[in-house]
Amino acid sequence: MKKFLKPFDYLFVLRPVQFYAVWAVFLAGFFVQNKFGVAATQFSANSGVAEKGDGGLLLVGLCLTLLMGALFLMNQVMDRENNGKDKANLVAQGEVTPKVALIESGTLLLLALVSAFLVSPKAIFPFLVMAALAGYLYNFKPFIWKDKPPMSVAANIIGAFLIFALGWMIRGTVTFDSAVHSAPYLCFVASIYLYTTLSDPKGADTSPKSSLGKKIGFQNAVYLGIALQAVATVFGLFLKDETIFYAAFFAIPFSVWAAVKLKMEDVRRTVGYSILLLTLAVLIKYQIEFHSYVLFFGMAIFYFLAKAYYKFRFGLDYPRIGA
């Protein structure tokens, strides 16, 4: 069985379940623009990146998936020494060599940029910015933003905005309204990112890697995460955006519990359920807008396929929601 599954290493090395959060923010941008931007009945072929109508949503989404796969893989290669304890990280575990991973990452990056340009020249700018920020500046010398807390936070927030903006651009043009309506999503994403930078306060963390969580301390970071989710909830209510409102509102209890217990497993649970809640909120919106459960069942099936792959290939119980 392991030999049969070996070729799938080159797919799962991308950590594709991590795409769920990316797709959620991308689709949120699309739905928010539909509700608050130019109405669908006023849609012009020249107003957004979707010159062929809503088919552009799928095409741009596929290009974004290629790009994020390239960036996720690039980060795994450059951070492999700090991720040695992560059994699901195939580069850190030596299942995929850094050389092969970089070749795969470069190929995906090239395909993403070329495909995005062919879909619409208007889409290429955010793709190039994300590639520069989350790819080159984030990972490579002399910048290495991933190890510099202020810059890593900035890169993740800008990246989240550009993903949201790509969804918005399917039918519209990015304006000040785009930034306003993206604010609660950026706060929510920032809270999740903050939690992922934490290290177990009772563990023997000898990693030289700096992070925002290390800089401000475990307890302060958890409290800041709660504040960011609260701000996202208030913004969602004020902007009448039910998608982010419900996701952030129901995520807060998990963050509060993490603040009470101050244990790493509770922080990980908060991250997992926060992503799940945002994804579910967007999937419900998708079903309402398109009257289709295709995306819901597609993502659910792929999730369980991923669990089967890691179980039979490496004996891991991964991925796990809320763990």
SS3 content of the chain, % helix, strand, coil (to 5): 75, 0, 25
Contacts of 151 (CB under 8 A, 6+ apart): 137, 143, 145
Rounded CA separation 263/159 (Å): 29
pLDDT number for residue 20: 96
Tens digit of each residue's pLDDT (9 = 90 or more) over 214-238:
789 899 999 999 999 999 999 999 9
CA distances, 203 to each of 152, 157, 168 (Å): 23, 28, 42
Cβ atoms 120, 51 nearer than 8 A:
yes
Write out the DSSP string of 76-92: HHHTTTTTTT-TT-TTT
Tens digit of each residue's pLDDT (9 = 90 or more) over 119-173:
988 889 999 999 999 999 999 999 999 989 999 999 999 999 999 999 999 988 9
**For the residues 174-183, what does the mean pLDDT come to?**
94
Rounded CA separation 280/319 (Å): 17
Sign of CA dihedral 24, 27, 29, 32: negative
Cβ atoms 64, 115 nearer than 8 A:
no
35-43 long-range contacts (CB < 8 A, ≥24 apart) are: 35/241, 36/177, 36/181, 36/239, 37/168, 37/171, 37/172, 37/177, 37/178, 38/171, 38/172, 40/171, 43/171
Q: Which of 190, 74, 178 is nearest to 135 (CA)?
A: 74
Domains of the chain: 17-174 (1.10.357), 175-198+212-292 (1.20.120)
Residue 51, token pair as written in the block = 């010159």
Cβ atoms 80, 89 nearer than 8 A:
yes
205 has a pLDDT exceeding 70: no
Question: Helices 19-36 and 176-196 sit at what angle, rounded to 10 degrees?
Answer: 160
CA distances, 114 to each of 109, 171, 217 (Å): 9, 21, 42
Position 209 confidence tier, pLDDT thresholds 50, 70, 90: low
Q: Which of 183, 271, 293 is nearest to 222 (CA)?
A: 271
Rounded CA separation 248/233 (Å): 5
44 has a pLDDT exceeding 60: no
Provide the percentage of residues in the chain whose pLDDT is more than 90: 78
pTM of the predicted structure, to 2 decimals = 0.93
91 has a pLDDT exceeding 90: yes
298 has a pLDDT exceeding 80: yes
pLDDT number for residue 130: 97
Rounded CA separation 149/157 (Å): 12
Position 1 confidence tier, pLDDT thresholds 50, 70, 90: confident
